[in-house]
């Protein structure tokens, strides 16, 4: 029984997941910052009852834009994945849960999938085709020499 994809296939699958997630995050962060603007995004957060809306709006934009870039590169994947999952949990709870599943009705399916994908990447890691992998390879010899 196959429990997981073998090494190279696993790395390609993680890369594809990171690319898809990173692009979606960047697109949504860009939309909030450049299309809607900070003021309109903050107003939308206020209308949805999100606490500390001005701070939350800036935080969400930063997580989506910077987090999206980091996910693309496979850098700080565990931390960014958890932050994205928390942001998406907030989106589901404050905005989408009352509208059912389907995004076409304002439902939670996109936020749910983005959050679950981010959490899965945080758990699985970013793979060998990532900055995280390069950094961890450079740290191992230095840590072994220090012991």
Domain assignment of residue 80, yes or no? yes
Query: How many other β-carbons are positioned within 10 Å of the β-carbon of residue 16?
Result: 12
For the entire predicted model, the pTM comes to 0.91
> pLDDT tens digits for 119-147?
999 999 999 999 999 999 887 665 555 44
Q: How many domains does the chain have?
A: 1
Domain assignment of residue 65, yes or no? yes
Reading the block at residue 140, the tokens are 């191992």
Integer angstrom CA distances of residue 99 from 18, 56, 107, 117, 139: 28, 22, 5, 21, 47
Q: What does the alpha-carbon distance between residue 113 and residue 21 come to, in Å, rounded to a whole number? A: 9
> pLDDT tens digits for 79-89?
999 999 999 99
Domain assignment of residue 3, yes or no? no
Give the structural domain span for 121: 11-146
Domain assignment of residue 59, yes or no? yes
Domain assignment of residue 4, yes or no? no
Q: What does the alpha-carbon distance between residue 86 and residue 43 come to, in Å, rounded to a whole number? A: 21
């Amino acid at each position: 029984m196959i429990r997981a994809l073998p090494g190279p296939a696993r790395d390609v699958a993680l890369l594809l997941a990171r690319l898809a997630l990173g692009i979606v995050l960047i697109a949504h962060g860009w939309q909030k910052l450049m299309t809607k603007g900070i003021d309109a995004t903050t107003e939308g957060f206020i209308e949805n009852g999100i606490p500390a809306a001005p701070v939350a709006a800036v935080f969400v934009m930063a997580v989506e834009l910077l987090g999206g870039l980091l996910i693309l590169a496979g850098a700080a994947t565990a931390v960014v994945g958890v932050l994205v999952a928390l942001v998406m949990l907030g989106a589901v709870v404050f905005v989408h849960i009352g509208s059912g599943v389907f995004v076409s009705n304002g439902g939670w399916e996109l936020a749910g999938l983005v959050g679950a994908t981010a959490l899965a990447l945080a758990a699985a890691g970013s793979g060998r085709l990532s900055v995280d992998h390069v950094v961890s390879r450079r740290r191992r010899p230095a840590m072994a020499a220090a012991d």
